[in-house]
Structure 1
């Protein structure tokens, strides 16, 4: 079976982890600081805060906003892994669903602009499968919202799928918003588990550094009680063990990304015009990371049966979140998502595919289902 996902671990990871064990420093220590410096250099943003999961990064980002009030809402997409939206619920805020653009499967920015209201405290955009949302257009929407409502909602970019992606030549994580990356096991860059929050300003960065460890300044003389907690936080920090894995994988992730993109370009060429299959729309001003390769197909059950019989794993990365019973009271009309959800399929596109694998995928699809 050609897998949809595969864990990427550098050959040097075991040695780096062994060094951490030998050091006796297993929690947050020098390897975390080294990893953060390396990530800051890659992203072109010095204001980075590593955390123990992408979910923790989302929770921390929301915690940096003002305390939630009864009518606070966060505008978000239901087409994402549940972690994106459950973080909103955990922070005591209400989700307002924004529709999906059927052409790209990212947030419908027209629907977003219609739904910004005086109750909107923040917006979470998801770079679905690693394809960047139009961030300049989003900034223009926020400019108009600020003029109309007298405030500017915060933006959190969910970059869980999007390590290495860029918008207009600038890496995601450096466009003036809070951004959250995931380093979970199946991601392009993995630490086993972990995440990263990037910040647009020094004040937010300083607050995030404190709040990822209960609000306590780790440089303070805690043994003598010489510290004060001004803003409480929780235990969200990364460990040196995870950072060591991440540092090793930073050495190989660029080549893996190159292969994801090369395989996607092959699919773009070879799957164009296949009856019953529609490719997603992409713009030349952004470079995706192709966490998976999404297509829209007619008769998805038959497509799945054909792929399974051919030994190719294909399916949905996430269930649409608005269908879960725990958020049934939030349901609303989302015609864009409704029009594509039953046609969406994710195909394997990763570094592990051989030339024969990807040719087999294409031949199987082109033979019909």
Structure 2
């Protein structure tokens, strides 16, 4: 089977991990520091902190944006606008912070949040806005900023924006990497991502004050430079056990040297599909927007009769998948409070085909031929 996902491991990753194990220092140490320095160069923003996974990053981002979770029974929880078309980690982080989700519709063209619907739903209760760059395609951040300007003028409060960049390593908006547009950004370094650490993540902040808080909160709220030998330290704000370890940082450092080539392979494969699948009956690609360069971690298409399409591709030896279920239908949540016509119209049609660095030219041609032959 041609896989939908595959783990990338750079040739020198094993040597780097062996060095860490032989050092006897497996927790947070100098390798993490070197990894963070290298990430600052790649992202172009010095205000970042690595974490044990991307979900921790989303949890921490909401904490930084909205404050500690409210005490039980202490009043109405704050509201976060978010998309239902995402992996559950995005929205479960909202619940973990004691906040309420208000669902925003999906733009069928991009599969990202519908900014028109988001603009209508911002209210004085909105504490934060969570956006997902689905499959690596960036949300229109300029338009989002203008919406927030209008909300601030109307309500005297500007909700924080948290960008879920889990699928978007290498994505650029107006020529700049995500993490440089004034918002809190969270990346995932999960095993199947463009930049893999095995498990890991990163939070990128727009200001030094938030960066300093993030560095403390990822380690229980304790300043690592404090005198813990003599117990001469204070915790002004309690935090979490969210720091990255040395082994995962070593894998990340190795993979960082090769990740740009992998992203370009994804883009080349996506361009091939764009050309070869144009006009196929029953299949619709997602939108391509000038100035918004996707990392194409995934290649989503919208198809008629998705179940038949999946069966056909499986019979052809190709793994395809819907990848996620719309989050608003899970039984652990209360029913949504508004209609989501964009999502309703597209959810049962979305499927993702292999686009990764592991595809050969023969693989790509086989996938295209299988699709063109119908389902």
* Counterpart for residue 78 of structure 2: 72
1:283 to 289, 299, 316: 289
The more displaced of 24-33 and 325-334 is: 325-334
Q: In 1, distance between residues paired with 2:289 and 2:226?
A: 49
* Counterpart for residue 257 of structure 1: 263
* Counterpart for residue 12 of structure 2: 12
> Is the Cα contact below 8 Å between 2:328 and 2:335 reproduced in 1?
no
* Counterpart for residue 41 of structure 1: 41
Unaligned stretches of 5+ residues in structure 2: none
TM-score (norm 2): 0.97
Structure 1 residue 63, shift from structure 2 partner: 1.1
Structure 1 residue 88, shift from structure 2 partner: 0.4
Q: In 2, distance between residues paired with 1:78 and 1:101?
A: 12
Q: In 2, distance between residues paired with 1:354 and 1:332?
A: 45
The more displaced of 121-130 and 320-329 is: 320-329
* Counterpart for residue 105 of structure 2: 99
Q: In 1, distance between residues paired with 2:338 and 2:284?
A: 26
What SS class does the counterpart of residue 84 from structure 2 fall into?
Answer: coil
> Is the Cα contact below 8 Å between 1:166 and 1:287 reproduced in 2?
yes
Q: In 2, distance between residues paired with 1:173 and 1:363?
A: 38
Q: In 1, distance between residues paired with 2:221 and 2:307?
A: 50
* Counterpart for residue 236 of structure 1: 242
Q: In 2, distance between residues paired with 1:66 and 1:189?
A: 30
Q: In 1, distance between residues paired with 2:329 and 2:8?
A: 32
Structure 1 residue 115, shift from structure 2 partner: 0.3
> Is the Cα contact below 8 Å between 1:95 and 1:330 reproduced in 2?
no
* Counterpart for residue 224 of structure 2: 218
What SS class does the counterpart of residue 146 from structure 2 fall into?
Answer: helix
1:343 to 327, 346, 349: 349
TM-score (norm 1): 0.99
What SS class does the counterpart of residue 157 from structure 1 fall into?
Answer: strand
Structure 1 residue 173, shift from structure 2 partner: 1.2
Change (3 A) 1:110 1:338: same
2:175 to 169, 172, 178: 169
2:367 to 333, 339, 361: 361
Q: In 1, distance between residues paired with 2:153 and 2:334?
A: 33
* Counterpart for residue 60 of structure 2: 60
What SS class does the counterpart of residue 237 from structure 1 fall into?
Answer: coil
1:306 paired with 2:312, answer yes
